[in-house]
Structure 1
Amino acid sequence: MNRRIAIFTDDPGWHGARLREAFETHGCSCEFVSLQQCGFDLSGAGEHLVIPGFETRPDGVFVRGVPGGTLEQVVLYLDILHALTHLGVCVYNDGRAIERSVDKGMTSFLLHTAGIPTPPTWVVGEERDLTRIVKHEFKAGNELVLKPLFGSQGDGLVRIRQGDTLPDPAHYNGVFYLQRFIHTGNEDAHDWRVFVINGQAVAAMLRHGEGWISNVAQGARCHPAVLDQELKELAEAATRALSMSYAGVDILRDDKGRAYVIEVNSIPAWKGLQQACQMDVTQLLVDDFLCCCHDGSLTEVI
């Protein structure tokens, strides 16, 4: 039986092409669909979900992108993912995992309460609280990083040093997510991206940034890295804490060698990792996805 897979994305690009090739080796066909085109139709009998290209529900959904937008728009996109899971469709990663990771505050909260080392973090909605935290950290000799609560690829990150002017609060939509800046021993940023599939860390790469930001989208270079036991255990624990089927976990070490989980990505890119590690990450993901679909529930394999 030919299984039809929906790949949610607004820009298939390299990842979409690799996924399609990998699914076709298993006899599956794929359709690229934007969540912006999806909705509900509760006017009568039928599938109730509107997914272009699918008169009946897909056999599985691989999420490669959730568009930004207003609060109402993002809620609708996540509602589509939740509805598919409710109907018994395998969604990879599912709406719960994406909600937990797209919100940096909740990510940090879940990691911290699970006992996973992360930088000291504050999430506040008042400018006076922001000022108070900054003054306290400066007095202790620390620097801070201000990040958008929702954001990716290093966009909107601001490093705050003693004497700096604070950014315009409007740029952060009235919510301030602050982390203590972790010094890694030099000014060239570097961290590790560890890729976890079905609870197992499968590969790691070292990212060297130009300046203090180490995101590939900001010009960082990718290098092969040894997946040592500490990186492996931290990445797997972080993925469990956020109940993800697969994840890209960002870890850095300070100038004393202590490791911190900085971020957990539920829709990670893997082009740089695949090139650095000479590993077919796409095929590993598709194999695990189809195993999850066969089992009938993502939660059974987390």
Structure 2
Amino acid sequence: MIPRILIVSDNSDSRSKGLAARLSRRGAVVATLPLAAIAFDTGSPSGLSIPGFDGTLPDAVLVRSIAAGSFEAITRRLGVLHALGKLSIPVWNSAQAIERCVDKSMTTFLLKNAGLPTPPTFAIEGRAMAEAIAERELPFTPLVLKPLFGAQGRGIRLIEALSDLPAEDEVNGVYYLQHYVPRPGPPYRDFRVFVCAGEVLAMMSRRGDDWITNVNRGAVPEQVSGHVSRHGETELPALARAAAAAVGADFAGVDIVPAADGKLFVLEVNSMPAWSGLQSVAAVNIADAIADALLKFLADRAEAAATTRPYRFTAPANS
């Protein structure tokens, strides 16, 4: 059977094109659509209408990006992913995993609940509660304020005094505050580990003059090398795999920061990660590896379905 794969992407970027090309080379039929183009339609046999699928459903869905929109639009788009999951269509990543990763407060809750090292974190509403947290914590450590929904380092601030806290309208009334992890610098370093189907595909360190070490802010990707050994080379992949599992992500970019004393902390798990910076230093082709993992998952699933025989109840004969 030729698998039909739907890539969900709101822009035709190089990563989406690369995934489509690599899946096609492996014999899959691939379509790329934004979630906004998929409709709920109770007149359809599945309840969904997907352009190009003639009333049928794909064999799997790979989510690359979801465009910004109103609360109603985002709710509907995630609802489409929930519906696909309800119809037993594999969705990488599932709506639930995306929701868990987009909401940083839920991510840190799940990481802590799984026993993984993550900095002490507080997510509260209202400036009065934020000031109470800051007054209690600032004598011991600076705090990092992050947007609850945000990516690529945008909107992050270092809070060292109460006056550094922004007004409520600047953060939509929600303050996500996390202990700053002290580390040597500049240059500053952290790690991005890419996990797919429970395996680590690639790792890099990011070196930058800014303590916010995102590549789009000027940090330089580097191969993970000898300087990691004091943290334990095997500790990074194990921690990243556990973090991806904690949020239920099929593939993810896990951000890990080393403290000055060498202890590692998981900061974030990205369910729709970019990988251009990582690819520049990785030995493996990441798009190839994702395509192979998804197709292997579908092949294993088909084989399991073919070899599973339904249980048939046979009534005992009357004695």
Q: TM-score range by the shorter chain?
A: over 0.9
Cα distance in 2 between the residues matched to 1:242 and 1:136: 30
Secondary structure, counterpart of 2:244 in structure 1: helix
Give the C-alpha shift of residue 163 in structure 1: 6.2
1:265-276 matched pairs, under 5 angstroms? 265-276=270-281
Name the CA shift for 1:163/1:169 in 2 (closer, same or farther; >3 Å): closer
Aligned equivalent of 1:212: 211
Secondary structure, counterpart of 1:132 in structure 2: helix
- Listed one character per residue, the Cα deviations across residues 230-269 of structure 1 (whole Å, up to 9, x for unaligned) are 1111111111111111111110111111110000111111
Name the CA shift for 1:294/1:90 in 2 (closer, same or farther; >3 Å): farther
Cα distance in 1 between the residues matched to 2:87 and 2:296: 18
Aligned equivalent of 1:281: 286
Tell me the amino acid that sits aligned with residue 85 of structure 2.
T
Aligned equivalent of 2:175: 176
Aligned equivalent of 2:134: 134
Matched, 1:160 2:159: yes
User: TM-score of the superposition, structure 2-length normalised?
Assistant: 0.88
Tell me the amino acid that sits aligned with residue 93 of structure 1.
N
CA contact (8 A) 1:39 1:76 kept: no
Give the C-alpha shift of residue 5 in structure 1: 1.6
User: TM-score of the superposition, structure 1-length normalised?
Assistant: 0.92
Aligned equivalent of 2:310: none
Secondary structure, counterpart of 2:181 in structure 1: coil
Tell me the amino acid that sits aligned with residue 197 of structure 1.
C
Aligned equivalent of 2:52: 53
Secondary structure, counterpart of 1:212 in structure 2: coil
CA contact (8 A) 1:7 1:63 kept: yes
State the superposition RMSD in angstroms.
1.8
Cα distance in 2 between the residues matched to 1:223 and 1:277: 9
Give the C-alpha shift of residue 166 in structure 1: 1.8
Secondary structure, counterpart of 1:277 in structure 2: coil
Cα distance in 2 between the residues matched to 1:121 and 1:286: 36
Aligned equivalent of 1:35: 35
Give the C-alpha shift of residue 160 in structure 1: 1.2
Tell me the amino acid that sits aligned with residue 286 of structure 2.
V
Aligned equivalent of 2:23: 23
Cα distance in 2 between the residues matched to 1:246 and 1:163: 38
Aligned equivalent of 1:62: 62
- Listed one character per residue, the Cα deviations across residues 120-160 of structure 1 (whole Å, up to 9, x for unaligned) are 100001211100111122222x1111111111111111111
Question: Which stretch of structure 1 is more off in the superposition, 158-167 or 119-128?
Answer: 158-167
Give the C-alpha shift of residue 164 in structure 1: 4.2
Secondary structure, counterpart of 1:262 in structure 2: strand
Aligned equivalent of 1:101: 101
CA contact (8 A) 1:90 1:296 kept: no
Aligned equivalent of 1:300: none
Secondary structure, counterpart of 1:231 in structure 2: helix
Aligned equivalent of 2:305: none
Secondary structure, counterpart of 2:280 in structure 1: helix
Aligned equivalent of 2:308: none
Aligned equivalent of 1:92: 92
Aligned equivalent of 2:269: 264
CA contact (8 A) 1:6 1:30 kept: yes
Give the C-alpha shift of residue 75 in structure 1: 1.4
Secondary structure, counterpart of 2:203 in structure 1: strand
CA contact (8 A) 1:105 1:149 kept: yes
Aligned equivalent of 1:197: 196
Aligned equivalent of 1:238: 243
Cα distance in 1 between the residues matched to 2:26 and 2:184: 47
Secondary structure, counterpart of 2:151 in structure 1: coil
- Listed one character per residue, the Cα deviations across residues 205-225 of structure 1 (whole Å, up to 9, x for unaligned) are 011134111112222211111
> Radius of gyration: which is bigger?
2
Structure 1 stretches lacking a partner, 5+ long = 298-302
Tell me the amino acid that sits aligned with residue 25 of structure 1.
R
Give the C-alpha shift of residue 189 in structure 1: 3.0
